[in-house]
Chains A and B, each alone.
Chain A
Amino acid sequence: MPQFQQFVQQLINGLSIGAIYALIAVGYTMVYGVLRLINFAHGDVYMIGAMTGFYASTRWFHLQQPTWAGFFLVLVCSMLVCGALGYFIELLAYRPLRNQPRIVSLITAIAVSMLLEFGGQAKWMFGPDPKPFPDLIPGVEAHPDLVHMGQLVIGKVDAMIFLIALVMMFALRYVVRQTKMGLALRAVSYRFDTAALMGVNVNRVISFTFVLGSVLAAVAGVLVGLRSPKVDPLMGLLPGLKAFIAAVLGGIGDIRGALAGGFLLGITEAMVVSYFPKGSEYRDGVAFLVLIAILVVKPSGLFGRAVQEKV
């Protein structure tokens, strides 16, 4: 049945987009959990991840042929650069302002985001033109499809994205639940001051959170480069916002929520674009409508608990 096939195809598209949103959303949600700060610059860290992937594969290592080794090299490179970037952003821009009112941190976050975006657009940095991200996964150019049944197509790249995202999420789950640092992270996001009293090095934990989130964003950036091979300095703006919306959808502060929200938002987007007449005009508007709907109906999100405001 072609209708069903189309539905499944859109579902797969949605999962693929959703995986990217999920990876970025996790970063937002973790930082919010520990600092109650929306890190506006997170979308731009994702952009830097994609850019680093581009420069690593074309300028630094001159990878001519796609190989698995090359792919992982580029991925690791990207993760390192973004991890360091996340660490330094926290150290230089957010840590001095930790005791300040919320609005100050918000504006600072926006300033960092602007710095990355406009700095990236400058001629002495990346330049405003989009760059063609190379093929890094072997075997894709010749046979891009993993599954091809009738009109249903599952691309190798899409499957790769989904797989890597899943692996990253399991790794994250392991870190958060089974390691000491993860325990510290959970403690700090629950009660900042009490965790400090219990001997947790709060600064270290926060840095760790930022680095972790940035690493995931870097992975998302490289994966997106493989999927839609056009990377430019402003590519992080909209996906960053949508990932934030996904995090809110799932319940900000909750990692499961970020993942669920990411996939849900991706699928919703794909469905709206395909089933709504003129839907693609409203593709970006959909995400914002979802945000408003969730904030009106259940502000704590799908997985969140309603927080009582104490006087």
Chain B
Amino acid sequence: MPTDSLPLVRSWWLALIHNLWMPAVLVAIVWIGRELEFADRPGPYVMHVAMIAGINIILAVSLQLTIGVSGQFSLGHAGFMAVGAYLAGYSTFVFAPWNFDPNADYPDPRQLFANPGATLMSFVALAVVAGIASGLVLGLFLLIRQARRIFPALPLILITIFLIWIVVDARNAFNSPEIPTLCIWSRGAIGLVHLYNAILLHSRSAGLWLSATLPDAWRKPASLMVAIVGGGTAAAAAALLVGLPTLRLRGDYLAIATLGFAEIIRNVIVTIPALGAATGLSVNVYWTKPSPADQIFEPFYMSPWIFGTAALTLMLIGRLVRSPTGRAIKTVRDDEIAAAAMGIDPTHHRVVAFVTGAFFAGVAGALYVHLDGYLNTNSFSFMRSIEIVVMVTLGGVESLFGAAIAAVALTAIPELLDNAERFLPGALTPQAHWMADNRFVLYAFLLLVIMITRSKLKGAIRKTRRKRIPQTQRS
């Protein structure tokens, strides 16, 4: 049974082994299986579904941390997944270029993924530029807040002035062939883009040097690793940005605010030409093996990565929940004022939970882009966020394990229903197809029924403990 706190271990490396041996064994099994081509038996389709299930596990578990453990109802999870997916995809796209000769069968595999150093440098450049931009915005914000001392309504006036200034600036910049000198905001924005490119250019040699230090065979996995961690970190940074204004809100407002931010993120991504704009981003994926033989694809390359990351996520988040930080987060969820009275900073712990959840969402996104190879903002809509929320809820909002099981079930069952001919007797096939086609209606109905009946049971059990008045401020 799950213990409430972690077992005491003598030294840090023993602790590491104690925790990591299981995911490591799993990764080893899957990796060996991949090399020995065991995956040929279930076939690419089943493996594809299994890998999607793995990604959904990561998403569901990370959302469970945010919703269940920390009590913050976030509807913007798909937005963070999008950030991770697009940035990881972009770095792969740029630094593993698609050398495509239209008349050949496939690009020369030896030239792909050979430069992890450059991938790393691109994320570093992004971090620098994002840091500068956020620093400026934060500075401005602090300035405005300090203005409150002079005159109580001054912040509002200042904000209005700034907004009008930015609009006029953008209009002038947009309407003239080249940006006038006085358009400070637009020039600043363009300047940041130039800075990014300049950093990339100057760090090229550093990147190549870094790549050269790695043995040949390690470059490809290193590239992928950088992309995944970079995507996760970018998503975490986005969550920090999103969280700052919104995390002091109560549950209902937070839901809408996170939803709003996810939509804004999607809106912004769809207008950036470098990220594919409306067409979507097509990315070369890691299935290419440098081999002279005809079959130079390994469609299951991502399988140890995905399953390993899923195991790692479960382990890490499980650890976090059972650690003192996790207990603090749960306390903040249960009674914020009591927690504050005990010296636990509610905002800090909420932010930690939110950002960690977003980090793993970004990681899931990065894995997704390297699995499918194509990104379109329509895949990261509000509906996707809701699907993940459904997984968490059906698995039991309090249970990490439940969220993972529900993720697998909700990924696998529609596919099973679709392929019903092979499993069910013929008479039931139309019903199975009907269920697969209408599965969202069924999810909604199931969710409704579960929420109502479970709560009735829970209500009966908790009768003695909870107050009955629905006006309680706590969620």
Consider the complex of A and B and state whether they touch directly, i.e. have CB atoms less than 8 Å apart.
yes
* A interface residues (Cβ-Cβ under 8 A, vs B): 35-38, 92-93, 96-104, 106-108, 110-112, 114-115, 118-119, 122, 191-193, 237, 241, 244-245, 248, 275-278, 281-282, 284-285, 287-289, 291-293, 295-297, 299, 309-311
Q: A35, A96, A103, A284: which contacts B452 (Cβ < 8 A)?
A: A96
Q: Is B409 an interface residue (CB 8 A)?
A: no
Q: Identify the closest chain A residue to B260 (Cβ).
A: A288
A292 with B245: CB separation less than 8 A: yes
Give Cα A309–Cα B382 distance, bound, in whole angstroms.
Answer: 31
Q: Which residues of B contact A102 (CB under 8 A)?
A: 251-252, 474-475
Q: Which residues of B contact A310 (CB under 8 A)?
A: 473
B468 with A118: CB separation less than 8 A: no
Give Cα A115–Cα B255 distance, bound, in whole angstroms.
Answer: 19
A–B pairs, 8, beta carbons within 8 Å: A36-B470, A93-B452, A96-B455, A100-B455, A115-B441, A119-B441, A245-B260, A287-B260
Q: Which residues of A contact B337 (CB under 8 A)?
A: 309, 311
B246 with A112: CB separation less than 8 A: no
Q: Identify the closest chain A residue to B392 (Cβ).
A: A107
Q: Identify the closest chain B residue to A102 (Cβ).
A: B475
Q: Identify the closest chain A residue to B262 (Cβ).
A: A288
A295 with B470: CB separation less than 8 A: no
Q: Identify the closest chain A residue to B387 (Cβ).
A: A114
Binding-face segment, B93-101, B110-118, B410-418, B442-450: B442-450
Q: Which residues of B contact A115 (CB under 8 A)?
A: 441, 444-445, 448
Interface of B is mostly: helix
> Smallest distance from the beta carbon of B140 to chain A beta carbons, Å?
14
B259 with A241: CB separation less than 8 A: yes
Q: Which residues of B contact A311 (CB under 8 A)?
A: 337
Q: Which residues of A contact B106 (CB under 8 A)?
A: none
* B interface residues (Cβ-Cβ under 8 A, vs A): 67, 71, 73, 155-156, 159, 167, 170-171, 174-175, 245-246, 249, 251-253, 255-257, 259-261, 263-264, 267-268, 270-271, 337, 382, 386, 389, 393, 397, 438, 440-441, 443-445, 447-448, 451-452, 455-456, 458-459, 466, 468-471, 473-475
A112 with B448: CB separation less than 8 A: yes
Q: Which residues of B contact A289 (CB under 8 A)?
A: 260, 264
Q: Which residues of B contact A37 (CB under 8 A)?
A: 252
> Smallest distance from the beta carbon of B419 to chain A beta carbons, Å?
21
Q: A106, A108, A278: which contacts B174 (Cβ < 8 A)?
A: A278
B271 with A278: CB separation less than 8 A: yes
> Smallest distance from the beta carbon of A115 to chain B beta carbons, Å?
4
Given A111-B451, A293-B159, 8 more pairs with CB closer than 8 A: A38-B255, A97-B455, A103-B73, A112-B444, A119-B444, A241-B256, A277-B175, A285-B267
Give Cα A37–Cα B175 distance, bound, in whole angstroms.
Answer: 45
> Smallest distance from the beta carbon of A53 to chain B beta carbons, Å?
23
B264 with A101: CB separation less than 8 A: no
A114 with B475: CB separation less than 8 A: no
> Smallest distance from the beta carbon of B245 to chain A beta carbons, Å?
5
A192 with B452: CB separation less than 8 A: no
Give Cα A100–Cα B466 distance, bound, in whole angstroms.
Answer: 9
A277 with B264: CB separation less than 8 A: no
A192 with B170: CB separation less than 8 A: no
A114 with B440: CB separation less than 8 A: yes
Q: Which residues of B contact A282 (CB under 8 A)?
A: 267
Q: B257, B397, B447: which contacts A114 (Cβ < 8 A)?
A: B447
Q: Which residues of A contact B386 (CB under 8 A)?
A: 110, 114
> Smallest distance from the beta carbon of B37 to chain A beta carbons, Å?
40
Q: B251, B267, B271, B459: which contacts A103 (Cβ < 8 A)?
A: B251
Give Cα A245–Cα B337 distance, bound, in whole angstroms.
Answer: 28
A193 with B469: CB separation less than 8 A: yes
> Smallest distance from the beta carbon of B258 to chain A beta carbons, Å?
10
Q: Which residues of B contact A288 (CB under 8 A)?
A: 257, 259-261, 263-264
B459 with A100: CB separation less than 8 A: yes
Give Cα A293–Cα B308 distance, bound, in whole angstroms.
Answer: 41
> Smallest distance from the beta carbon of B276 to chain A beta carbons, Å?
15
Sorted nearest first, the 3 A-B pairs with minimum C-beta distance are A288-B260, A102-B475, A277-B174
Give Cα A311–Cα B473 distance, bound, in whole angstroms.
Answer: 9
B441 with A122: CB separation less than 8 A: yes
Q: Identify the closest chain A residue to B449 (Cβ).
A: A111
A244 with B441: CB separation less than 8 A: no
A111 with B466: CB separation less than 8 A: no
Q: Identify the closest chain B residue to A196 (Cβ).
A: B469
Give Cα A92–Cα B452 distance, bound, in whole angstroms.
Answer: 9
Q: Identify the closest chain A residue to B454 (Cβ).
A: A104
Q: Which residues of B contact A112 (CB under 8 A)?
A: 444, 448
B471 with A111: CB separation less than 8 A: no
Give Cα A241–Cα B148 distance, bound, in whole angstroms.
Answer: 32
Give Cα A38–Cα B256 distance, bound, in whole angstroms.
Answer: 10
Give Cα A234–Cα B15 distance, bound, in whole angstroms.
Answer: 51
Q: A97, A248, A297: which contacts B253 (Cβ < 8 A)?
A: A248
Q: Identify the closest chain A residue to B250 (Cβ).
A: A102
A275 with B167: CB separation less than 8 A: yes
A297 with B156: CB separation less than 8 A: yes
B170 with A276: CB separation less than 8 A: yes
Give Cα A119–Cα B470 distance, bound, in whole angstroms.
Answer: 30
> Smallest distance from the beta carbon of A123 to chain B beta carbons, Å?
8
A237 with B382: CB separation less than 8 A: yes
Give Cα A242–Cα B156 distance, bound, in whole angstroms.
Answer: 23
Give Cα A92–Cα B445 distance, bound, in whole angstroms.
Answer: 12
- The CB with the most chain A CB atoms within 10 A, among B251, B382, B470, is that of B470
Q: Which residues of B contact A106 (CB under 8 A)?
A: 73, 251-252, 255
Q: A96, A118, A284, A293: which contacts B444 (Cβ < 8 A)?
A: A118
Q: Which residues of A contact B474 (CB under 8 A)?
A: 101-102
Q: Which residues of A contact B271 (CB under 8 A)?
A: 278, 281
> Smallest distance from the beta carbon of B158 to chain A beta carbons, Å?
11
Q: B257, B382, B393, B466: which contacts A291 (Cβ < 8 A)?
A: B257
Q: B245, B451, B473: which contacts A107 (Cβ < 8 A)?
A: B451
Known contacts A241-B256, A281-B271, A114 near B473 by CB under 8 Å: no
Q: Identify the closest chain A residue to B253 (Cβ).
A: A295
Q: Which residues of A contact B471 (CB under 8 A)?
A: 36, 191-193
